Amino acid sequence: MRTVQSRQADLINLDAGLAHYASTLYSLRPIAVENYAASNAAGARDLFYFANVIVPATSTVDPTNLRGKEICSAGAGTAEGWVAPFGTLIADLKTIPVTQCNSVVQNLIRYLGDSCIPNALNELFNPFGDNTQELCRICYNQGWPTWCTSRDRFARNQGALRCLREYTENIESTVKPVAAFVRAKEIDLAAADGFPTANYKLLCPTKQPNGQWTADLNASSTCHWGQIPSRMIMTPLTQPNVTLFTTFLTTMVNYFGPAGTHSAIFSLFQSTGYGETGSSVQTHNLMFSDLTRNIYVPPDEETATYYRWTNATFLEALKKLDQCPLPTMGWCVIDEFEMDKCQRMSSAFGARSIKPDLTCIQADSVLDCMRLIQDGYADMVTLEAGDLYAAGKYFGLVPIVADSTVHLNTGWGKTEKRERIT
């Protein structure tokens, strides 16, 4: 994403979950999307897929008893391995409690057992650098730079299925993940490589008509955790002429797509045969999904931004990950200058989806702020040390954090006696 933003590259293909981060943090936009049908004609296009959860056929796990269980995921931030399943578990089913706002990883660490969710330690999902390794513990490439990254052997959709299968079939292993969070039809690609589909089922977010939590693998369109927009080919928002790129993509498909004039020379959407020599692991989904049949280029105005193209249902699914027990927090200030800064801070928090929403309340004095907090109209205020006694004695307020000039990297500095009171 950073490479495309800095114009060292022009295009990147991302799933709808990671495309959200590419848009909000790196100012990228979609210009084309994968089409899982052969035709780009209206009504014939297939621009969605489903998020599925695969479990061993003998498993008794259901969405309500995942606490302490090990899981394998396509990866942090991905639509099928992150947004859809965890958003459902957090917001809809409420089985994963939110104990820390702004950190899905921290909430998952407290709920799940040791798991493999590649990129859980990436800066996108570890903004404060305090994520511990529980969500990476059962990933494959331990001791290597690729461990728990997109290059881990257990990363992405096929890697998550590999993770589930290899641990399940290893009778000597004490690690027994209960599920793989992947996209629908990935199981078909794995089956072609020898994945024993008869030994696995789908886990559904709700009970089926027969009273069971599971369904056969061919029920991916009814037993699913969310409908996901197809993968997006993205470029910088500031790209002056996207037509050059969309024309290139169209020409590429006309030449090397499934019905291309030169498909015998090179097959654009096939990824087998690119792995290491002698490796038993088949490669899939390189640059494009193996399931892709065409590239659809929507009208430019429909893809001007990620949010204009992505449907409301998936945008709502993204919001589910931002659940916070405290919806708003009121900060009391005492003059117009603090008010101006507080409002700018609130806007900055909103731009980065930091929760809770910050509201700014201006009072005439420090004592008025203390009274507003006591009466429940505000939540926090910054006080000098000399005001702490009155805040505690007369208003029942307590300090929760102190200003510090300590540098996070060096540890040098001093703590000043300015307290945030609540």
**Among 100, 128, 132, which Cα is nearest to 117's?**
132
Helix axes 312-320 and 16-26, enclosed angle (nearest 10): 80
The answer to whether 366 touches 418, Cβ cutoff 8 Å, is no
Q: Check pLDDT > 70 for residue 405.
A: no
Q: Which residues contact 191 (CB under 8 A, 6 or more apart)?
A: 197
Lowest mean pLDDT among 11-25, 41-55, 320-334: 320-334
CA atoms within 13 A on the CB side of 248: 9
Q: Check pLDDT > 70 for residue 404.
A: no
The pLDDT of residue 292: 98
- Looking up tokens 């027994």 gives 176
Beta strands in 144-299 (DSSP E): 179-183, 200-203, 214-215, 227-229, 232-236, 294-296
* C-alpha span between 401 and 389 (Å, rounded): 16
Question: What class has domain 48-228?
Answer: alpha beta
The residue among 411 and 252 whose pLDDT is bigger is 252
Q: Do domains 2-44+230-320 and 48-228 have the same CATH topology?
A: yes
The pLDDT of residue 277: 62
pTM across the whole model: 0.87
pLDDT digits (tens, 9 = 90+) for 102-117: 899 999 999 999 999 9
Question: Which H helix or E strand runs over 307?
Answer: helix 306-309
Domain ranges of the chain: 2-44+230-320, 48-228, 328-421
Question: Which H helix or E strand runs over 52?
Answer: strand 48-56
User: What are the phi and psi torsion angles at 420 (to 5°)?
Assistant: -95, 125
User: What are the phi and psi torsion angles at 96 (to 5°)?
Assistant: -105, 110
CATH domain 2-44+230-320 topology: D-Maltodextrin-Binding Protein; domain 2 (3.40.190)
pLDDT digits (tens, 9 = 90+) for 46-90: 999 999 999 999 999 999 999 999 999 999 999 999 999 999 999
Q: Check pLDDT > 90 for residue 359.
A: yes
The residue among 287 and 408 whose pLDDT is bigger is 287
CATH number for region 328-421 = 3.40.190.10
